[in-house]
């Protein structure tokens, strides 16, 4: 989760700086300015890193928060696909893997009868 957050932070910084590696699209329903999308990814990346640090504490609330934030990250990167397809799809996969890992860990702890 912290890796995905760091990548989202870099993605946001590149978009805010209006780097030349992004594709300009026309007639996109979720069209913001490139800087607007950059701020979305930058803030989401910071929250993802925070959630990843919180998950390392082992708190149950952190897992639920991590699932929620990683889901938002997957959604934001899915909407980002027209701007930078390969990077966005890679981060969608990372965020979906994070959701799966967090949910699988909760399921195993509940089956063992452990509560943290």
Neighbouring residues of 63: CB distance < 8 A, sequence distance ≥ 6: 55, 102, 105, 106
Distance CA 18, CA 71 (A): 26
Mean pLDDT value of segment 11-34: 73
To 10 degrees, the CA torsion angle through 13, 69, 71, 109?
140
- Taking only the tens place, the pLDDT of each residue in 34-91 is 788 889 999 999 999 999 999 999 888 999 999 999 999 999 999 888 888 888 999 9
Q: What's the confidence (pLDDT) of residue 71?
A: 96
- Residue 32 or residue 61, greater confidence: 61
Residue 115 has pLDDT above 60, yes or no: no
**H-only helix segments in 25-84:** 34-56, 60-79
- Taking only the tens place, the pLDDT of each residue in 98-114 is 999 999 876 666 555 55
Lookup: tokens for 38: 């950059």
Q: What's the confidence (pLDDT) of residue 109?
A: 60
- Residue 45 or residue 22, greater confidence: 45
Nearest to 88 by CA among 26, 29, 32, 15: 15
Q: What's the confidence (pLDDT) of residue 42?
A: 94
């Amino acid at each position: 989760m912290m890796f995905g957050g760091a990548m989202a932070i870099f993605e946001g910084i590149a978009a805010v700086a209006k780097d030349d590696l992004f594709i300009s699209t026309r007639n996109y329903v979720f069209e913001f300015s490139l800087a607007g999308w950059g701020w979305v990814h930058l803030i989401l990346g910071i929250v993802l890193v925070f959630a990843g640090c919180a998950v390392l504490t082992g708190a149950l609330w952190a897992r639920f928060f991590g699932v929620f934030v990683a889901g938002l990250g997957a959604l934001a990167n899915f909407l980002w696909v027209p701007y930078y397809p390969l990077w966005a799809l890679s981060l969608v996969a990372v965020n979906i893997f994070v959701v799966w890992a967090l949910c699988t860990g909760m399921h195993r702890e509940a089956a063992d009868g452990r509560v943290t």
